[in-house]
Each structure stands twice: as structure tokens, then as C-alpha cells.
Structure 1
Amino acid sequence: MVNAQDTYADESANADPWEPVNRVIFRFNDTLDTYTLKPIAKTYDRFMPQPLDDGISNVFGNLGEPRNLVNNTLQGKFRDAGVDMARFLLNTTVGVVGVFDVATRMGLQRNDEDFGQTLGAWGVSSGPYVVLPLLGPSTVRDGGARVPEALANYSYTGQIDHVPTRNTALGTDLVDTRASLLAQEKMIRGDRYNFIRNAFLQNREFKVQDGDVEDTF
């Protein structure tokens, strides 16, 4: 019996014509993760007190609000952009630079937007699936969107001139994000490459369409 998820990439517009090359890069990334980032993330997850872990995640989530604000504005979703602004102001002040997510407790749910989604909202096709060295799953559209995002300089890393501080923030953000994915790895079944590819493509489609997608199962 064939799982619907296993054929998702073949049945959608997000085909994987570069699979042989993608698999090579995937194995490189996976091996690097297995012997470097994953052990660090496991140690971090094991010894980091949950309240402190939540606080760190909240801080980096708050630092991502300007990106949400810019992209919601570009997509014409002005109500969501207003929520992004309100969240940033509330969590930065009342929430002590974002340590406490008071905005969510007040009913202001966090958005998750990027320039790849903005391009998709304006009709730009995702193009073929591609695995980027070190960066992981992407598509031609989303990978290319990283360039204008970097030039826009609206992420927190672009606002920190002190190199050691910027590197420390990046490293902490990376480890915290990787630790948050540890539990999800237990859900992987069958071919690891196929599972991650299809999960990524479905998740991106869901985000671009703001959840308004057809059930393919």
C-alpha cells in the first residue's frame, strides 16, 4: 500500500527533478547534523530548565516579528501586520525584551512569514525542490528569496554590529531551534529523505495558502 504522503511530490507542482543531487547534499547535511548539531541540541535539551528554554525561544520569536510585519504588509495582510507590531511592542516592553510571551496570552497569535511566502502569495511558483548545503530543504523560490531578505537587513543579526555578540545569538538560536525539533524526529517513517521532503513541501504550501489547501489524503 502506497502512503499518500510518499507520492505528494510527484503529484504536485513541486516536483523533485534534482533528487540524485539533492540526496547527496541531504546525506552531507544529515551526517554533519548527526555528529555536531544534534548532540549539542540533545545536551541543551537535557540540561536547560524548561522555563529558561521557553524564555530563550520567546526572545528569538520576538526578534522575528519585524520579518513577519514586513512580509504581512507586502502581502496586503494589514490586520496581521498590526498584530505583528502589537506583539513586538508588548513583548519587548511588558514581556521584558521578549522573555515572556504576554501577547499570546492576550489573544494575539504569532504569525510566521518570510519573503518566500510573500512571493508565493503574489503568484510566484515554488519551482523544483532543492536541498541547500547546511541550510537544508528549500525550493528555487524560497532559496532565492533568501537574497533579498539578506539585503533588506530586517533580521536581528543585521542589527547587531558586535561580531561576538551576533555569533553568540546565532549559535544560541540555531541550537534552540534544533532542540525543538528533536521530538518531531520520532514521527519520521520510511525513507528519511522522502519524509522530510514531502513534509517540507506540504508545510510550505500550507503557509503560502494560509491554511486554505485541499486535503490530498
Structure 2
Amino acid sequence: MNKNRSAGALAMAGLLAIGGCATGPDRNPQDPLEPLNRATYRFNDALDRAVAKPVAKGYNKVVPQPVRTAVDNFFANLGDVTVMFNDFLQLRISDGMQDLARVAVNTTFGILGTIDIATPAGMQRHDQDFGLTLAHYGMPSGPYLVLPLFGPSTFRDAAGFGVDQYMAPVNQTEPATRNTLWGIDFISTRARYLNATNLLEEAALDKYLFTRDAWLGHRRAQERGGQEDELPQYEREAAPGQPQGK
């Protein structure tokens, strides 16, 4: 994708500008590419501030809540198809059959998934992707990696993301339809997380470290089916090259 190549070039330019930071004994061993990741994070953050966040705010202002909920449900139903495939790949047959039933019920009786009938009926939604499938079969995550436009990942999960995108129902449609659905899904998702990012903006934190460690902790919890990792006290830490408390 040309956008990804351009983003990667900008991220590399950022890396050259900050080549001396985040080195030495304080570097997190899970994040050996921290200078590059920080550059990509800044690129993503700038793009979010300039484009995604204003569009998401406009979407919330203009589109009524019932319509936003229907859009969220529609894309969640499409996402259940990919989850179902990964359930079966991991031999989670019961979960896979339940997700198959969810898709069938919501697509037929829920008007193409715009109404979530399955959840109130007791059909639990699961959360699986091909990165977790690879983890299930013993593949290590590899280093943390911030993807241009798409955000936090690891080497393994970036590869898994590509497979999930290949399997996704949206990507089986004509390019014009696919691109339109991509855009609507992106705006809908960004709008749903406005409050969370507003809280992050207000906190006196190194946003990069917080995002990285929260995401890695969440992925570890998904892999083992246990509790989330406790996050460090970021208010006592500073970004590389910055004074404490900034």
C-alpha cells in the first residue's frame, strides 16, 4: 500500500533525527526498536490529531447514537467471521460453533448484523486473531513494533494482522465497496475511542510508554487467558531526553 510506504519513509526520517535516544540499560528488551517505534508513533499521533480525531468528533456530532450503534454492530458481526476462523484453527471447536451461530443469527435476524441479537440470547462474543493463533502454536511474539497507521503490534502480530485482513469479509468485496467500508469502519472505531484518548491526553504520562505497555500487557493476557499485567507508575518516569514530569 503506498500510504504504508510513505509512512515508513517518514518514520525512518524520524529515526535519523532521534538516533541517540532510548538507548542503553533503560531500554525495554521487548522494544529494541524503540527509536523507530517512537518516530512512527509520533507520525501516527500527528495524523490522528490532524485528520482522524476531528473527523471522529464530527461523526459523533452529526450521526445519531442509534445509527452509530448499528454501524458498530455491523462491523463487529463481520469481525466475528475472522474470529470464528481463528477459533477453528486453534481447535476451539465450541467457541467456533458459537461464533458461527452468532454470525448466522445476527446476519439473518439482526438485519445484516446491525442489531446484536446474539449477545442478549447468551451467545458470548470471543476475541481471537491470527496473531493469537500463531501464539497458540508456540510462535514467540518477537519485538514490539508500531505500524504506520495501524499502531501497536509485534513482528508476529503484524504477520497475523496481514492474514486476518486477507480473510476478512470486507476484503472479498469490490475495491470501491471495500474502500468505503474501510473508511466507515475506521471513523466508527476512532469515534468509539475518543473518550479513552482524551483521558490519555490529560494524564501526565509518556504516552508512548503507556500505550506500549498497556498493549503488550493486554496481548499477554489474551495469550494466557489470565489477568492484565499491572502497569508501571509512569508519572515517575520521563520520556528519553526529557526532564522528569514532562
Structure 1: tracts of 5 or more residues without a match: 1-8
Count of residues paired in the alignment: 202
Q: Provide the residue aligned with 1:36 in structure 2.
A: 51
Displacement of 1:208 in angstroms is 1.8
Instruction: Say whether residues 1:154 and 2:167 are aligned partners.
Output: yes
Of 80, 91, 94, the match for 2:106: 91
Which structure is higher in RCO with an 8 Å CA cutoff and minimum separation 6?
A: 1
Q: 1:131 aligns to what SS in structure 2? A: strand
Counterpart residue type for residue 179 of structure 1: A
Instruction: Say whether the 8 Å CA contact 1:69–1:81 is kept in structure 2.
Output: yes
1:135 lines up with 2:150 in the alignment: yes
Distance change in 2, residues 1:20/1:207 (3 Å): same
**Residues 40-55 of structure 1: pairs in structure 2 closer than 5 A:** 40-55=55-70
Q: 1:215/1:114 Cα in 2 relative to 1: closer, same or farther (>3 Å)?
A: closer
Q: CA deviation at 1:79?
A: 0.9
1:118 touches 1:208 (CA, 8 Å); kept in 2? no
The secondary structure found in structure 1 opposite 2:52 is helix
Q: Deviations over 1:80-118 (max 9, x none)?
A: 101100000000011110010000010112112110011
CA contact (8 A) 2:106 2:115 kept: yes
Q: Note the C-alpha offset of 1:33.
A: 0.9
AA of the residue aligned to 2:115: F
Per the alignment, residue 219 of structure 2 pairs with 204
* Kept after mapping to 2: 8 A contact 1:67/1:154: yes
> In the alignment, what sits opposite 1:61?
76
Q: Select which of 192, 199, 224 maps to 1:187.
A: 199
Mapped to 1, the partners of 2:78 and 2:185 lie a distance apart of 11
**1:178 aligns with one of 166, 190, 194:** 190
Question: Structure 1: which amino acid aligns with 2:185?
Answer: D
In structure 2, relative to structure 1, the CA distance for the partners of 1:72 and 1:41 (3 Å cut) is same
TM-score by length of 1: 0.87
Indicate how the Cα distance of structure 1 residues 88 and 127 shifts in structure 2: closer, same or farther if over 3 A, else same: same
